[in-house]
Structure 1
Amino acid sequence: MLIVHDLSTSARTWQPQTLGPRGRYKFKPGVVVMKFGEQLRSSVIREYQWYYIAYDELKALLKTPLVAPRTKENPRPARREWTEEDESRFIDALEQELDKVHTKQKVKAIEIGRRISSAEREVNDVVARLDSRGPLGRDGNAASGEDAPTEEEFMMLEEDLSDIIADVHDLAKFVQLNYTGFQKIIKKHDKRTKWVLKPVFAARLKAKPFFKDNYDADIVKLSKLYDIVRTRGHPVKGDSAAGGSQGSFIRNTTKYWVHPDNVTEVKLLILKHLPVLVFNASKEFETKDSAITSIYYDNPEKFDLYEGRLKKTEGAEAIRLRWYGGMDVEQIFVERKTHREDWTGEKSVKARFGIKEKNVNAFMKGDLLPAAIFEKARKEGKKSAKQIDEDERLAKEIQYSVLKKGYEPVCRSFYNRTAFQLPADARVRISLDTELTMVREDNLDGKLRSGDNWRRMDIGIDWPFSQLPPQDIERFPYAVLEVKLQTQVGQEPPEWVRELVASHLVEAVPKFSKFIHGTATLFPDRIKLLPYWMPQMDIDIRKPVTSHFGISRPGQSTLTTTSDDDEDDDDDSDDELVEVSHSTLIREPDDRAHQLRTAREDRDLQDRARGNALDIEEELASQPLNEDYPLYDSDDEDAENEALEEARQVGGWPYYSKLVKKYAKQAGVQTLRAFSLLNPVPRPTEMPSNGSMAPIRRDQVQTKHFKAPKGKKIHVPVRVEPKVYFAAERTFLSWLEYSIYIGTIAATLLNFGSKPTTMSFVAAGVFSLVAILSLIYSVVTYLYRSQAIRTRRAIKYHDKYGPTILCAALFVAIVLNAVFELKSRDLI
Structure 2
Amino acid sequence: MRFGQQLRSSLIKDWYHYYISYDGLKDSLRSTNFTHTPAIQQGKHADEEWSEDDEKRFVNKLEEELDKVFTFQQVKSQEIIRRINSTEKEVNEVIARTQSAEQDERTRANAPSEDEYMLLEEDLSDIIADVHDLAKFTQLNYTGFQKIIKKHDKQTHWHLKPVFAARLNARPFFKDDYDGTVVKLSRLYDLVRTRGSPIKGDSSAGGKQQNFVRQTTKYWVHPDNITELKLIILKHLPVLVFNPSKEFERKDSAISSIYYDNTDTWELYQGRLKKTEGAEAIRLRWYGGMEVDTIFVERKTHREDWTGEKSVKARFSMKEKNINAYMRGDMTTEQIFEKARREGKKSEKEINELEQLAKEIQFRVIDRKLVPVTRSFYNRTAFQLPGDARVRVSLDTELTMTREDNMDGKRRTGDNWRRMDIGIDFPFSQLPPGDVELFPYGVLEVKLQTAAGQDPPGWIRELTASHLVEAVPKFSKFIHGTASMFPSRINLLPFWMPQMDVDIRKPVSHNFGLMRPGHSTETSTSAALDEDSDEELDLEDVEDAEDVEDDKNLQRLRDARDALEQHEQERYLEQANGNGNVLDEEERMAHKPIAHAEEDYPLYDSDDEEEDLAAAKRVGGWSYRWKLSKKHATLAGDKILDVLKYATPMPRPTQIPDREGRMGIPAGRGVSEKRFKAPPGKKIHVPVRVEPKVSFAVERTFLAWLEFSIILGSIAAALLNFGDDISLASAWAFTIIAVIALFYSMGIYLWRVANLKKRRAVNYHDKWGPSALCAGLVVAVAISFVFRFSKGGEGGLKGI
Q: 1:328 to 1:824 in 2, by over 3 A?
A: same
CA distance, structure 2, for counterparts of residue 752 and residue 346 of structure 1 = 60
Q: 1:667 to 1:258 in 2, by over 3 A?
A: closer
Asked if 2 retains the 8 angstrom alpha-carbon contact of 1:770 and 1:809, the reply is: no
Secondary structure class of the residue paired with 1:714: strand
Q: Pick the aligned partner of 1:633 from 605, 608, 628.
A: 605
**Mapped partners of 1:271, 1:632: distance in 2:** 39
Give aligned pairs, total.
711
Matched residue type, 1:724 = V
Task: Letter of the 2:23 partner, please give it.
Answer: D
Pick the aligned partner of 1:54 from 2, 21, 26. Answer: 21
The residue number in structure 2 matching 1:159 is: 122
User: Over aligned residues, Cα RMSD in angstroms?
Assistant: 4.5
Give, in angstroms, the shift of residue 79 of structure 1.
4.8
- Give the distance between the partners of 2:299 and 2:543, measured in 1 at CA: 58
Q: 1:305 aligned to 255, 258, 268, which one?
A: 268
Q: Deviations over 1:476-498 (max 9, x none)?
A: 11111111122233332211112
* Match of residue 283 from structure 1: 246
Q: Which residue of the partner structure matches residue 52 of structure 2?
A: 84
Counting only pairs closer than 5 Å after superposition, residues 632-781 of structure 1 correspond to structure 2 as 632-634=604-606, 637=609, 674=641, 677-678=644-645, 704-735=674-705, 756=726, 778=745, 781=748
Contact 1:717 1:794 in 2 (8 A): no
Kept in 2: contact 1:366–1:403 (CA 8 A): yes
105-114 vs 39-48, which deviates more? Answer: 39-48
Moved more, 239-248 or 125-134: 239-248
- Which residue of the other structure, out of 400, 408, 412, is the alignment partner of 2:371? 408
Match of 2:6 among 31, 35, 39: 39
Q: Secondary structure at the match of 1:420?
A: strand
Q: Is residue 117 of structure 1 aligned with residue 117 of structure 2?
A: no
Identity %: 62
CA displacement at 1:466 relative to structure 2? 0.2
Q: CA deviation at 1:756?
A: 4.8
Q: Which residue of 2 aligns with 1:608?
A: none
User: What amino acid sits opposite 2:686 in the alignment?
Assistant: V
Distance in 2, Cα, partners of 1:705 & 1:620: 26
User: Which residue of structure 2 lines up, in the alignment, with residue 386 of structure 1?
Assistant: 349
Aligned-partner Cα distance in 1 for 2:525–2:401: 31
Mapped contact 2:218–2:446 kept (Cα < 8 A): yes
Contact 2:100/2:107 (8 A) holds in 1 = no
Q: Which of 468, 485, 493 is the equivalent residue of 2:456?
A: 493
In the other structure, the counterpart of 1:602 is none
Quote the residue 2:133 is aligned against. Answer: 170
Paired residue for 1:348, among 311, 335, 349? 311
Report if aligned partners of 2:465, 2:663 keep a CA contact under 8 Å in 1: no
Q: 1:754 to 1:293 in 2, by over 3 A?
A: same
Residue 64, structure 1, aligned to residue 16, structure 2 = no
Q: Give the counterpart of 1:618 among 549, 570, 575.
A: 570
2:235 partner amino acid: K
Cα contact 1:318–1:337 (8 A) shared by 2: yes
Q: CA deviation at 1:729?
A: 2.4
Q: Following the alignment from structure 1 to structure 2, what is the Cα–Cα distance between the partners of residues 560 and 817?
A: 83
Does 1:551 pair with 2:514? yes
Is 2:269 the counterpart of 1:294? no
Residue type at the aligned position of 1:300? T
Q: Give the counterpart of 2:279 among 316, 321, 325.
A: 316
Matched, 1:225 2:191: no
Task: Say if 1:640 and 1:743 are closer, same or farther in 2 by CA, change over 3 A.
Answer: farther
**Superposition deviation, residue 337 in structure 1:** 1.0
SS in 1 for 2:173: coil
1:576 and 1:408 map into 2 onto residues whose CA distance is 46
> Is the Cα contact below 8 Å between 2:605 and 2:682 reproduced in 1?
no
The residue that corresponds to 2:361 in the other structure is 398
**Partner amino acid for 2:88?**
E
Q: Is 1:95 aligned with 2:63?
A: yes
Deviations 1:665-720 (A, max 9, x none): x9899699848953769688799xxxxxx999866879753122222211111111
Report the Cα offset of residue 244 of structure 1. 3.4
**TM-score, with length taken from structure 2:** 0.79
What is the rounded CA distance, in whole Å, between the counterparts of 2:721 and 2:520 in structure 1? 85
Q: Which has the higher helix share?
A: 2
User: Does 2:335 correspond to 1:372?
Assistant: yes
Residue aligning to 2:295 = 332
Which residue number corresponds to residue 785 of structure 1? Answer: 752
Deviation at 1:354, TM superposition (A): 1.1
Shift in Å at residue 735 of structure 1? 4.5
Deviates further, 387-396 or 91-100? 91-100
Q: Matched residues in 2 for 1:126 and 1:682: separation? A: 69
Shift of 1:412: 0.7
Task: Tell me: CA distance 1:242–1:147, structure 2 relative to 1, closer, same or farther (3 Å).
Answer: same
In the superposition, relative to structure 1, how do residues 376 and 630 fare at CA in structure 2: closer, same or farther (>3 Å)?
closer
Q: Which amino acid aligns with 1:526?
A: R
The alignment status of 1:525 with 2:488, answered yes or no, reads: yes
The reply to whether residue 211 of structure 1 matches residue 174 of structure 2 is yes
Q: Structure 1 residues 543 and 743 mapped into 2: Cα distance closer, same or farther (>3 Å)?
A: farther
User: Counterparts of 1:768 and 1:61 in 2: how far apart (Å)?
Assistant: 92
Q: How does 1:169-208 map to 2 (within 5 A)?
A: 169-208=132-171
Alpha-carbon distance in 1 for matches of 2:276, 2:16: 55
AA partner of residue 719 (structure 1): R
Q: Secondary structure at the match of 2:107?
A: coil
TM-score (structure 1 length as normaliser): 0.76
Unaligned segments of structure 1, at least 5 residues: 4-34, 67-73, 137-141, 578-613, 623-628, 646-654, 688-693
Task: Tell which deviates more after alignment, 525-534 or 193-202.
Answer: 193-202
Give the Cα–Cα distance (whole angstroms) in 1 for the partners of residues 775 and 602 of structure 2: 29
